[in-house]
A and B are shown apart, each in its own frame.
Chain A
Amino acid sequence: MSAANTVNPPVVFTQDELGWVSWIDPLPEAELTERHFAGLVDRARAKSEYFRLLVRDPEVLEARTKTDKDIFYNVADGLPRAERELAAAATSRYNGCIYCASVHARFASTYSKRRDDVQRLLDEGVKADLGERWNAVVKASVALAATPIAFGPDNVEELRRAGLDDAEIVDVINGASFFNWANRLMLSLGEPSK
């Protein structure tokens, strides 16, 4: 809120690093207690306005953060990280979260080494032709993001044809569903800034 006059909102989807400015007051760093640090999970997140806002409810933030980390970072088996990030980026592109899309498009590019394809998803939208496997992941993510939910047997069939087993399909479902959580917070509690 204090920085409202300095916000320079992006008007296109981008892989550039963006800032984020809260519309309501985050907790001041000086007021954080051990209960809040437990909620932040990583102490370094105390520097982030977004996390200092969410930490107003530390128990929910802690559980949300740990859910997020396991869905995306636990790559002991299942879907490669790049495609989990693709599901996050596609969901964000479809819902319209420029900030979330920027972060997860960057991760998708880093892990897949397919930066141009990721950029086409951002530029052309969720109908961009990215090859059978990525198309199936994007289409499934979009179907899950729709309200009412449009994910159906055809999506499962397409994912299987593209080579995903059931554990990998569950990773798509988790990753895409999680971004329906993340997008709504990022979009409604503040705004991105270049």
Chain B
Amino acid sequence: MSTKDIIDMLAGIEPGSGLDAIRARRLQARENAQKSYLSLFEPIDAGDFSLAERAAVAAFVTGLHGESPVAAFYRQKLAANADGTALVEPIQIEIERGKTSGPYGAFPAGPLSVENKAGLIYRVSTERKPQLGARLVAALEHAHLLVFRPRDAASADMKALLAAGWSTTGIVTFSQLVAFLSFQVRVVSGLRTLAAASA
């Protein structure tokens, strides 16, 4: 557990700073955000979701949020993985194809339907499918849904992942990874904004 705190590193929080002291008052949250990161990216068992796949999904998800220190961090993690290096370029192209603004999607049919908002239903380009493989193609399409239109999720999406070779346990870890990154990228952005506003 000697790894530097990732949120502090990405948000540029220096030891002894005001935000360092504030984060220290939520020590359990700080330590467990770090443990979440470690259990997702340095897991005990990566059998259901390989490290290269984790780095590829992370680079895609954080890249979809726009260029940032977080996106650069996960892009480097992908590049540093022996099986990931070749994926950096196709993932980067898919990020550009997938960028849009969220959240959008449909509510259950009824009074909330007036709030339905249409938007991009992202699919990996045919050209990139052979480079990425069936598992990652399904993962990127589902990750895009989770990032931009989580309220559109349906049981059929679980079936698509299972059909692409994902195990039930793999789907749980994959969903946690995308959801965790949705948290991490926001905490980092929020803390950076607050630090800049206090400078």
Q: List chain B residues, Cβ under 8 A from A4.
A: 155
Q: Which residues of A contact B65 (CB under 8 A)?
A: 147-149
Partner of A24 from B171, B176, B197 at Cβ < 8 Å? B171
In the assembled complex, the Cα of A62 lies from the Cα of B28 at a distance in Å of: 12
Give the distance in Å from the alpha carbon of A57 to the alpha carbon of B185 in the complex: 22
User: Could you tell me the distance in whole angstroms from the C-beta of A149 to the nearest C-beta in chain B?
Assistant: 5
Query: Cβ of A90: which chain B residues have Cβ within 8 Å of it?
Result: none
State the majority secondary structure of interface residues on A.
helix
Query: With A57-B169, A149-B186, A181-B179 as given contacts, are A174 and B108 in contact (CB-CB < 8 Å)?
Result: no
Which bucket holds chain A's interface residue count?
35 or more
Q: Would you call B183 and A180 a contact (CB within 8 A)?
A: yes
* A169 CB to nearest B CB, Å: 6
Chain B CB within 8 A of A103 CB: no
Verify B103–A170 contact, CB threshold 8 A. no
B44, B155, B173 — which one has the most chain A CB atoms within 10 A of its CB? B155
1/0 contact string of A142-180 vs chain B (CB within 8 Å): 001111110111011100000000110111011011101
A59→B179 contact, CB < 8 A: no
Contact residues in B for A23 (Cβ distance below 8 Å): 155, 158
Bound form: Cα–Cα A77–B186 in Å: 22
Interface range for B = 35 or more
Compute how far the CA of A94 lies from the CA of B148 in the bound complex, rounded to whole angstroms.
12
- Judging by beta carbons under 8 Å apart, are A77 and B107 in contact? no
Determine whether the beta carbon of B193 is less than 8 Å from that of A177: no
Q: Are A180 and B193 in touch, CB under 8 angstroms?
A: no
- B150 lies within 8 A of A187 (CB): yes
Interfacial residues, chain A to chain B (CB-CB below 8 A):
1, 4, 9-13, 23-25, 53-54, 56-57, 59-64, 66-67, 69-71, 74, 76-78, 94-98, 125, 144-149, 151-153, 155-157, 166-167, 169-171, 173-174, 176-178, 180-185, 187-189, 191
